[in-house]
Amino acid sequence: MTVTLVAEFCVLAAFSVGWELTGGRPGSTAQLLLIAALAVAMGIQSAAVRQLGGMSTTYLTGTLTAVVAELATRDRKPGLARSLGVLAAIVSGAVVGGLVGRARPGLAR
């Protein structure tokens, strides 16, 4: 657990250094790298929380982590199809919301 959390800290520290080096205004490539670093840190954090057992992260992150863990380890548990459906619904809603927000920005106020 400690090693996992130290790894997360290192990734977050690297993100912070990258952010400061760009003056808080990263270009497109730097932006992509910084987002990727945060995604890695989030994944590490989710793995650490799963090691604790009984605790949960946010619903979406926890669901995503559980689905990926089940698919990667081939350890299928009841409810996998439901969890995949929940993730599909959340992603679909986000896409539709983004498209509506882009087409009709006044609705997002």
Task: Tell me which residue has tokens 């670093």.
Answer: 37
* Chosen domain end from 15, 42, 57: 57
Q: Measuring CA to CA, how many Å separate 52 from each of 3, 15, 49, 58, 82?
A: 14, 25, 5, 15, 24
In this prediction, residue 98 carries a pLDDT of: 87
**Same structural domain for residues 68 and 89?**
yes
**pLDDT value at position 46?**
77
The last residue of a domain, from among 40, 57, 74: 57
Angle made by CA atoms 6, 11, 44, in degrees to the nearest 5: 65
- Given a contact cutoff of 8 angstroms between Cβ atoms, the answer to whether 107 and 101 are in contact is yes
Nearest residue to 42 via CA among 25, 67, 60: 60
Q: What is the mean pLDDT of each run of 10 residues along the chain (109 residues)?
A: 87 94 92 94 80 62 82 82 84 88 76
pLDDT at 62: 77
User: Residue 54's pLDDT is what?
Assistant: 53
CB 40 within 8 A of CB 11: yes
Domain containing residue 25? 1-57
Q: Quote the pLDDT of residue 88.
A: 87
Same domain, 48 and 34: yes
